[in-house]
A and B are shown apart, each in its own frame.
Chain A
Amino acid sequence: EAQVTQNPRYLITVTGKKLTVTCSQNMNHEYMSWYRQDPGLGLRQIYYSMNVEVTDKGDVPEGYKVSRKEKRNFPLILESPSPNQTSLYFCASSEGGDEVHTEAFFGQGTRLTVV
């Protein structure tokens, strides 16, 4: 089954404690991205990756890091989380490349609370 898997689904942490949210896809997709969803703001792109070792900033990258060492994995790293990073996070993947844009597949989401 084609899927994007995020872990954990729920996370409560304290300010300043480094955390990583994992994302893995099994569709051999080139393009992966992270979004955060906040009420009234929709989904905003944090970072994206066009392929292995190729990452770039999205619209709201401050306070986040990513890496793409393998095609299937695209972890999101918060080095020093702050309360304003409390949000619902989604990982997504799509075929990417020079092909016509196709469907983006989304993970189930990670609800992060920073206290």
Chain B
Amino acid sequence: AQSVTQLGSHVSVSEGALVLLRCNYSSSVPPYLFWYVQYPNQGLQLLLKYTTGATLVKGINGFEAEFKKSETSFHLTKPSAHMSDAAEYFCAVTGYFGNEKLTFGTGTRLTIIP
């Protein structure tokens, strides 16, 4: 079975400050990891994904995440927060094959303080 834990259901940062959203995973097989973003009244949009290869992955809107197997973590970061980053962020894990289930964390709501 696979699972993800997102630490902090709400995170607030000042505009221009570092964004750090935490995600730890549990998986008995090599994990494929994703970060999705949900803007108000919208569906989920893929931010970035880790499958194999480079452990530092870059996504859209200046976000990046680093896969650390030793720490079973996949934290999401952005050097400088922008007001438009206010949204809910979900970490998710799945296995290798396309027909395997995507398991989501409980989400982190990011608030940007002007």
42-101 of chain A: CB within 8 A of chain B? 42-45, 48, 50, 58, 90, 92, 94-101
A101 B96 Cβ-Cβ under 8 A: yes
CB distance from A74 to the nearest CB of B (A): 14
CB proximity to A under 8 Å, residues B4-18: 6, 9
Per-residue contact bits, chain B 32-44, to A (CB 8 Å; 1 contact, 0 not): 1010100001111
A40 to B101, CA, bound (A): 20
Give chain A residues whose Cβ lies under 8 Å from the Cβ of B9.
Answer: 40
Would A101 and B105 be within 8 Å (CB), given that A90-B43, A90-B44 are in contact? no
Q: Which residues of B contact A96 (CB under 8 A)?
A: 98-99
Contact sample, A vs B, 16 pairs, CB 8 Å cutoff = A31-B98, A40-B9, A45-B103, A48-B101, A50-B99, A94-B98, A97-B97, A97-B98, A100-B32, A100-B96, A100-B98, A101-B95, A101-B98, A103-B46, A106-B43, A106-B45
Q: A30-B99, A107-B43, A109-B43 are in contact. List 16 more A-B contacts (CB 8 A).
A: A30-B98, A40-B106, A50-B99, A92-B44, A95-B98, A97-B99, A100-B32, A101-B32, A101-B97, A101-B100, A103-B46, A104-B44, A104-B102, A106-B36, A106-B43, A108-B43
Which 3 pairs from chain A and chain B are nearest by CB?
Answer: A106-B43, A42-B106, A43-B104
- Please report A residues at the B interface, Cβ cutoff 8 Å: 4, 30-31, 33, 35, 40-45, 48, 50, 58, 90, 92, 94-104, 106-109
